[in-house]
Amino acid sequence: MQTSQPIIARAPQAPAQQPPPPRAKPAPERPPEVPPEFKAEPLLGSPPARLIEILKDPQATVFQKAKACQRLAVIAGKDAVPALAALLGDPQLAHYARFGLEPIPDPSADDALREALKKLKGNLLVGVINSLGQRRDHKAVDALTKLLDSTDPAVAQAAAAALGRISGLRAAKILEDALRRTKPPVRTAVAAAGLVCAEGLIAEGRRDRALALYQSLMRPNIPQPVRLAAMHSAFAAETSLRRPR
Amino acid sequence: MSSTATTVHRRQFLKSGALAAAPMIVPSSVLGRQAGAVPPSDRIVLGAIGIGSRGAYDLQAFLHQKDVQFVAVCDVREQRREVVKSTADKHYGNRDCAMYSDHFELLARGDIDAVLIATGDRWHALLSIHAAQNGKDVYCEKPCSITIAESQALADAFRRYGRIYQAGTQRRNGGNFVLAVELARSGRLGKLRTLHAQTVQAKSMPPIPSHDWLPAEPEPSKLVVDWDRWLGPCPWRPYNHFYVQGRWRNYFDFHGGSILEWGSHTADLCQWANDADHTQPVEYSPEGDNRGPFAVHCRYANGVMMVLRDSGWLELGSCSVRFEGDDGWVETGDTSKMESSENLREFLHPPSDYRVALENHVRDFLDCVKSRSQPRANAQAAANTHIACHAAYIAFQLGRKLTWDPLKAEFVGDQEANRMRSRAMREPWRI
């Protein structure tokens, strides 16, 4: 091969220095070994009756009970409800108990959650309220209405959110009343719940009632994001092709 | 200051005319008169929540935009707060970036227009909803949700509050992927038959994550890592540093496995190609096992099939998609190389820099924040993609064919599957 002449003569060069060796990228840390007591596989294949036994067993570990609750969420029937409900007051397992209870279609799960409202306080009570809202338990409306006036703002806010999700004419009236008598931060939660409640009313075909609720959410004492959302939602309802004409 | 004093926001102040009357010198940069500078009224004030390695990459793309002013970071990890503040302060040559460990404090700031969220999947939907409730627009990393219920709540919140949402599915703004989608949507492929979406290979990330717990370690001080906040709505488990160092993937409570990990990108492109951003497939048939290879065949009501699969690709890079119609096919991936049937070669363009996709995607979001129009990966489109991926994930976990009703948002005649649509959140969190 013919080599081309350099256009500019090369200046004498110092002996080529070896480039520094590339800095080795540290290997990612290997995951720690899972200890045998934290392996879920044996538990996840257990039938519901065995999982319920674990929940009742005072010798069972938190891990075993936690995994039993998570598995029961998918496969449990009403016979698992008492064992799950018994854990609603356990600070370490209360959430796992709701994880199991919340998806059980049987109404006994609602009954158990409603019963727990009378016994719990603070965060555990908030969790149960959230689950009742998630299940849209209409029978909980009276109890939730009382909790709107709780001295614990977190409880009152949770009650408002649950009422919004449950929706319906009663919940709408309760939230409207609460808008007038509550103060931030509870009023903020009541207002946000009002938006959700109004959407439920529209889905039920109670458009006029929803529009009235939106009006009450447009008042100046309502936080701006909710006010704007109420205007936006009312506008959407008023211009919808499905509106009465 | 009296308790009745009205808060005057920066923009109101600038618009009020007080500036003209005040005898003071205002630097030209503040008024946006320097070459390339953007006046404050056109800047988007940004905060960020949960910025690890991926979030830092996103943040760089935001910092490259001249109309972005990044002002605050929130993280439950002290070290990450410090790193992000240092990056921002170095970028702006000041020490103004504020740090928070409670996201409600950041979201309460009236001067912040939008937030970047990159926490980890467990927090994505809930934080996005909190941001919308506080009047913020959101750019959020994917996967955007842990369950079908979270996906629906996300779309509902952004519709309800009229906020702008962009999922971090930047391939919707990547040239090769957009071209492939265009070929499908424009009819160049003929009648669409099968859309293929790549998932992570099961051998490196199984479709069903582990239910195990790592060994318990002593919890650090709340100032260093707030473990309770890190877990957020997820079930409690003992602390292990491994989760917090970004290695939370592959655990059921925190992650949706390989289907959600890449499906949130690739099923998303299939949804778009099939003009199905408003809906989801109606049947899900799984095959294979958790060690791979595996696939989930998802049939749309219009007859088109989407196949989520982890193997059998042309090696065009990660997150590949392949669209097949009666008249041709096209396949592309993260190398941005494209392959197609002979009749479509004239339309293909040479590979480009894949990093442009992220810059374009961020720009799309910022433009929509200003115009109030919907970006490409808006909340509704993202929610439908995620619902499709979660439905496929549930079918794979149950190991049976499922039928899905997109209008009722429920599986037909399968109670177990329906019970997997949501998970109770740890108190006090809720959607």
The pLDDT, as a whole number, for residue A35 is: 96
Are β-strands B321-325 and B192-198 bridged in parallel, bridged antiparallel, or unpaired?
Answer: antiparallel
The pLDDT, as a whole number, for residue B3 is: 36
What's the pLDDT band for B24 if we cut at 50, 70, 90?
low
The pLDDT, as a whole number, for residue B20 is: 41
Instruction: Report, as an integer, the average pLDDT of B175-194.
Output: 97
What's the pLDDT band for B217 if we cut at 50, 70, 90?
very high
pTM assigned to the model = 0.91
Is residue B234 over pLDDT 90? yes
Is residue B19 over pLDDT 50? no
The pLDDT, as a whole number, for residue A12 is: 36
Compare CB distances from B427 to A28, A44, A124 and report the shortest one's residue.
A124
Query: Mean of the per-residue pLDDT values for chain B?
Result: 93
d(CA B237, CA B227): 10
- Residues in B closer than 8 angstroms to A32, CB to CB, are 214-215, 240, 242
Residue of A nearest to B110 (CA): A224
Is residue B255 over pLDDT 80? yes
d(CA B34, CA B340): 48
Is residue B306 over pLDDT 60? yes
User: B25 and B56 in contact (C-beta within 8 Å)?
Assistant: no
Is residue A94 over pLDDT 70? yes
The pLDDT, as a whole number, for residue A85 is: 98
> Per-residue pLDDT tens for B108-129?
999 999 999 999 999 999 999 9
Residue of A nearest to B157 (CA): A196
Instruction: Report, as an integer, the average pLDDT of B117-142.
Output: 98
Which of residues A1 and B219 earns the better pLDDT score? B219
DSSP letter assigned to residue A196: H
Is A130–B427 a contact, with Cβ atoms under 8 angstroms apart?
yes
Which of residues B202 and A9 earns the better pLDDT score? B202
User: B51 and B116 in contact (C-beta within 8 Å)?
Assistant: yes
The pLDDT, as a whole number, for residue B17 is: 42
The pLDDT, as a whole number, for residue B7 is: 46
At B121, list the tokens.
Answer: 């999947």
Is residue A8 over pLDDT 50? no
**Taking each helix axis from N to C terminus, what angle separates A207-216 and A186-203, rounded to the nearest 10 degrees?**
160
What's the pLDDT band for A29 if we cut at 50, 70, 90?
confident
d(CA A169, CA B323): 49
Whose CA is closest to B362, among B55, B30, B132? B55
- Residues in B closer than 8 angstroms to A192, CB to CB, are 133
> Per-residue pLDDT tens for A182-209?
999 999 999 999 999 999 999 999 999 9
Interface membership of A108 toward B (CB under 8 Å): no
Classify the C-alpha dihedral A205-A207-A213-A218 as positive or negative.
Answer: positive
d(CA B353, CA A4): 34
Is residue B31 over pLDDT 80? no
- Maximum separation of any 2 CA atoms in chain B, in Å: 75
Query: Mean of the per-residue pLDDT values for chain A?
Result: 91
Is B430–A134 a contact, with Cβ atoms under 8 angstroms apart?
yes
- Specify the amino acid at residue B219: E
Q: Which of A30, A34, A38, A135 to mutate to test the interface with B (most CBs of B within 10 A)?
A: A38
What's the pLDDT band for A26 if we cut at 50, 70, 90?
low
**Taking each helix axis from N to C terminus, what angle separates A108-117 and A94-101, rounded to the nearest 10 degrees?**
150
Is residue B320 over pLDDT 70? yes
Which of residues A175 and A22 earns the better pLDDT score? A175
CA distances (Å), B41 to each of B15, B73, B417, in order? 9, 22, 50
Range B171-197 burial, b when 16+ CB lie within 10 A, else e = bbbbbbbbbbbebbeeebbeebeebbb
The set of residues, in sequence order, having a beta carbon less than 8 Å from that of B339 and lying 6+ positions away, is: B314, B316, B330, B331, B332
Is residue B23 over pLDDT 60? no
The partner residues of B99 in beta bridges, in order of sequence, read B73
Mark out the alpha helices in B36-120 (DSSP H runs): 53-63, 78-92, 103-107
CA distances (Å), B236 to each of A117, B145, B179, B240, in order? 22, 18, 45, 12
Instruction: Report, as an integer, the average pLDDT of A160-189.
Output: 97
Instruction: Report, as an integer, the average pLDDT of B152-159.
Output: 98
Please compute Rg for chain A using Cα positions.
30
Compare CB distances from A99 to B132, B134, B423 and report the shortest one's residue.
B423
> Per-residue pLDDT tens for A38-73?
999 999 999 999 999 999 999 999 999 999 999 999
Instruction: Report, as an integer, the average pLDDT of B234-255.
Output: 96
Are β-strands B98-100 and B68-74 bridged in parallel, bridged antiparallel, or unpaired?
Answer: parallel
> Per-residue pLDDT tens for B84-110?
999 999 999 999 999 999 999 999 999
Instruction: Report, as an integer, the average pLDDT of A135-162.
Output: 98
Classify the C-alpha dihedral A146-A152-A158-A164 as positive or negative.
Answer: positive
Least confident of A12-26, A125-139, B308-322, B346-360: A12-26
Compare CB distances from A102 to B135, B424, B427 and report the shortest one's residue.
B424
CA distances (Å), A53 to each of A47, A112, B161, in order? 10, 19, 46
123-142 in chain A: CB under 8 A from chain B = 123-124, 126-127, 130-131, 133-134
- Specify the amino acid at residue B340: S
Residue of B nearest to A93 (CA): B236
CA-based nearest distance A216→chain B, Å: 16
Helices and strands in chain B: count of H runs, count of E runs: 15, 15
Is A130–B156 a contact, with Cβ atoms under 8 angstroms apart?
no
- Residues in A closer than 8 angstroms to B420, CB to CB, are 74, 103
Compare CB distances from A233 to B160, B240, B419 and report the shortest one's residue.
B160
Which of residues A23 and B336 earns the better pLDDT score? B336
